[in-house]
Chain A
């Protein structure tokens, strides 16, 4: 089979007829564009050294890059969390000054949301969406690399504010005006927040466009939308939420940045501005963001539970449509974050009602997971334990969320630890535990060896107990009246006991995380003495398990034909005359070997990294000296042009063998170069430069 994917080609299936395109012309054009656009980099050839990670366009490697970076920032955010808990462990804590405390809790929130959960979800999305839909890569591999490098440059930029910005942002993660103004936050921390989040948002926007096109356009033959694995579905919805939510926060951040850097008047109340504008814009983004965080975890759980219950997902259609409904209704509830802002009774009543409704599709999901497990042949692996814990903990967080929708109660909850308890149950209990389930579930697929289950068990139980010890008491503290964001509290309000418990819990989570890291190292070392997991160690259901572990660089030897939902399961199992399940083939028999040699893949490129290097320079320029911005802009724009001039596929790339493309029109020559590649998104410089 000579099925090749060159996703970046401008495709016109109806137009490019076998006899039509003169291949010589294309080849000629490529020669003219030469190998070193602007003469800076030699075209990377791909290989196994560290440089190849810098130029990779392989969605799997990019996924790993996202994952490793996200775990690093998990530790950074975790240390910040520990500092908060140490400060609050006893009354009148003196670990941090009030000012540093403000910076720490702000950066804890920003780090965990934008630098840990979102990129960890992006890691899974990158790695598994193409595998689950039977594709060789995403629609725009170089844009995919660009997303990652921009994200990383934004993450580094944001954290350099500790060093060069006079401290982190200190306005809380939602950075309400007028606290975010120069008057109340004179350091550069908020500037770094405003510009850093724009850079991160640009990365997510590019990635959202890329993955939406991938999901819609690159499904294997027969993979209709209603046959797509549920994880891919949830990620697709997430990408739509990102697509539409990010421009809103971009607007808000631009207004904030203009206020602080160029003395605009957007949030200057003296001049007649309305600080509620920030709150609206932030939460129009911020509420869909909650679903951006939780839906990927829902997707993971919806893959793990059926696998370890040996049952198909109960009510697949309902799961899809409740996901879509959550995504849609998530746009109509944002003002429930603003009930005490004085919006007026009509707004409060309307958003109170819509918030109660959104619990319905979420409840549908919980019931469907339970029904999937009902009567199943349950196997409590660590992945399954994390998945079940996700359902349970998220349900607690969801229920306390419903209590917020009741406006009078909300008035009491606002800005207390009850809110902190609620969203940690949703984001940690739902999001993080769900993604940990994904790590244990997919680890053998990514690395070719299991994570140790015994250590994993300890990791799971310590995390679960630590999590509940930390955040459970916060419900009580909040209802007792302890405000969030206070840097200390006096003795005698009855806050002492539960705060101490919460701190003990947080230390337990820290120990659990250390155990996880040890597990990663230990499992890797042990793997040499253990039999490899094979393509399908969990007897799972979706396509990624039909290829070897770890996944070969070209993913699929032949693009699979999809005949049904859970196609891989139905390849392994059929139905006997009496309706019982009959094994048709073992996974090893049915899986692809990964030995295909004739697969043409997009060539690596350094330009995405080069573009990304320019953006933080623009950011520093806006804050310190516009000359930096000029240099950054020149780097970014120059790299974009070089990128556009670089052919998608390297004509001189080393191939192990002759491409077996007989019968295909476009086989032997390199594809038409996209000199003004429209796939270089015109938007990218737009967002960055403006």
Chain B
């Protein structure tokens, strides 16, 4: 939890961008939001990945074998990342937001994977 650096950096960003003439869309790092078309492109990418995920279900077409679970997890992470960074604006917003969220996310992964491991879920 090194908020020291985080907040201070966020403050610097805010200072850098607090130009009175900045328009409404300006966020604390001074980036404009992407265009609607960019959002649509992200959504298309998400749709394609989802189609690919569902495709794995039809094993008669292609048997993914041992690669199945890693591939599914990888695609899930990509989708997760795209929504968080683009739709939730983590790419453009202060890093502090992302850190608050990631802290919870990593902690959740840590304690619950440990719990499942202790319960011999992966054995």
- Chain A residues in contact with chain B, CB under 8 A? 13-15, 17, 216, 224-226, 237, 240, 243-244, 248, 274, 276-277, 280-281, 284, 324, 327-328, 331-332, 334-335, 343-344, 347
How long is the Cα–Cα vector from A244 to B1 in the complex, in angstroms?
Answer: 13
A-B contact pairs, 7 of them (CB 8 A): A14-B18, A276-B119, A280-B115, A280-B118, A331-B107, A331-B110, A344-B120
Taking a contact as CB atoms under 8 Å apart, the answer to whether A17 and B4 are in contact is: no
How long is the Cα–Cα vector from A387 to B4 in the complex, in angstroms?
Answer: 28
Question: Which residue on A lies nearest to B11, using beta carbons?
Answer: A224
- Chain B residues in contact with chain A, CB under 8 A? 1, 3-4, 7-8, 14, 17-20, 22, 24, 26, 28, 96, 103-104, 107, 110-111, 114-115, 117-120
Taking a contact as CB atoms under 8 Å apart, the answer to whether A240 and B1 are in contact is: yes
Sample of 20 more A-B contacts, CB < 8 Å, known A216-B96, A237-B1? A13-B14, A13-B18, A14-B18, A15-B24, A216-B7, A224-B8, A225-B3, A225-B7, A226-B4, A243-B104, A274-B119, A277-B119, A280-B119, A284-B115, A324-B1, A328-B1, A331-B107, A332-B114, A344-B118, A347-B117
Question: Which residue on A lies nearest to B28, using beta carbons?
Answer: A14
How long is the Cα–Cα vector from A240 to B28 in the complex, in angstroms?
Answer: 24
A347 to chain B, nearest CB (A): 4
How long is the Cα–Cα vector from A334 to B114 in the complex, in angstroms?
Answer: 11
Q: Known contacts A225-B3, A327-B1, A328-B1; is A14 also within 8 Å of B17 by CB? A: yes
B17: chain A residues at CB < 8 Å are: 14
Question: Which residue on A lies nearest to B30, using beta carbons?
Answer: A14
B20: chain A residues at CB < 8 Å are: 17
Main secondary structure of the interface of B (DSSP, over half): helix
How long is the Cα–Cα vector from A335 to B111 in the complex, in angstroms?
Answer: 11
Question: Which residue on A lies nearest to B112, using beta carbons?
Answer: A284
How long is the Cα–Cα vector from A280 to B121 in the complex, in angstroms?
Answer: 14
A347: chain B residues at CB < 8 Å are: 117-118
A517 to chain B, nearest CB (A): 39
Question: Which residue on B lies nearest to A17, using beta carbons?
Answer: B20
A243: chain B residues at CB < 8 Å are: 104
A323 to chain B, nearest CB (A): 10
B95 to chain A, nearest CB (A): 13
How long is the Cα–Cα vector from A624 to B111 in the complex, in angstroms?
Answer: 35
How long is the Cα–Cα vector from A265 to B54 in the complex, in angstroms?
Answer: 31
Q: Which of A14, A237, A240, A331 has the most CB of B within 10 A?
A: A14
How long is the Cα–Cα vector from A344 to B121 in the complex, in angstroms?
Answer: 13
B114: chain A residues at CB < 8 Å are: 332
How long is the Cα–Cα vector from A324 to B8 in the complex, in angstroms?
Answer: 18
B111: chain A residues at CB < 8 Å are: 248, 284, 331, 334
How long is the Cα–Cα vector from A281 to B116 in the complex, in angstroms?
Answer: 11
B103: chain A residues at CB < 8 Å are: 240, 244
A225: chain B residues at CB < 8 Å are: 3-4, 7-8
Taking a contact as CB atoms under 8 Å apart, the answer to whether A14 and B1 are in contact is: no
B24 to chain A, nearest CB (A): 6
How long is the Cα–Cα vector from A209 to B4 in the complex, in angstroms?
Answer: 18
How long is the Cα–Cα vector from A14 to B31 in the complex, in angstroms?
Answer: 13
A334: chain B residues at CB < 8 Å are: 111
Question: Which residue on B lies nearest to A12, using beta carbons?
Answer: B24
B17 to chain A, nearest CB (A): 6
Question: Which residue on A lies nearest to B22, using beta carbons?
Answer: A14
A344: chain B residues at CB < 8 Å are: 118, 120
A17: chain B residues at CB < 8 Å are: 20
A98 to chain B, nearest CB (A): 33
How long is the Cα–Cα vector from A453 to B32 in the complex, in angstroms?
Answer: 61
Q: Known contacts A14-B28, A328-B1; is A343 also within 8 Å of B118 by CB? A: yes
Question: Which residue on B lies nearest to A277, using beta carbons?
Answer: B119
A332: chain B residues at CB < 8 Å are: 110, 114
| Shortest Cβ-Cβ A-B pairs, 4 listed | A347-B118, A225-B4, A280-B115, A284-B111
B120: chain A residues at CB < 8 Å are: 344
How long is the Cα–Cα vector from A243 to B117 in the complex, in angstroms?
Answer: 24
How long is the Cα–Cα vector from A276 to B119 in the complex, in angstroms?
Answer: 8
B107: chain A residues at CB < 8 Å are: 244, 331
How long is the Cα–Cα vector from A559 to B113 in the complex, in angstroms?
Answer: 46
B24: chain A residues at CB < 8 Å are: 15
A328: chain B residues at CB < 8 Å are: 1
B105 to chain A, nearest CB (A): 10
B28: chain A residues at CB < 8 Å are: 14
A226: chain B residues at CB < 8 Å are: 4
How long is the Cα–Cα vector from A77 to B26 in the complex, in angstroms?
Answer: 54
How long is the Cα–Cα vector from A284 to B22 in the complex, in angstroms?
Answer: 46
Taking a contact as CB atoms under 8 Å apart, the answer to whether B3 and A216 are in contact is: yes
B31 to chain A, nearest CB (A): 12
How long is the Cα–Cα vector from A343 to B8 in the complex, in angstroms?
Answer: 44
How long is the Cα–Cα vector from A237 to B4 in the complex, in angstroms?
Answer: 13
B110: chain A residues at CB < 8 Å are: 331-332
Taking a contact as CB atoms under 8 Å apart, the answer to whether A14 and B26 are in contact is: yes
How long is the Cα–Cα vector from A347 to B123 in the complex, in angstroms?
Answer: 13
B76 to chain A, nearest CB (A): 21
B115: chain A residues at CB < 8 Å are: 280-281, 284
B123 to chain A, nearest CB (A): 10
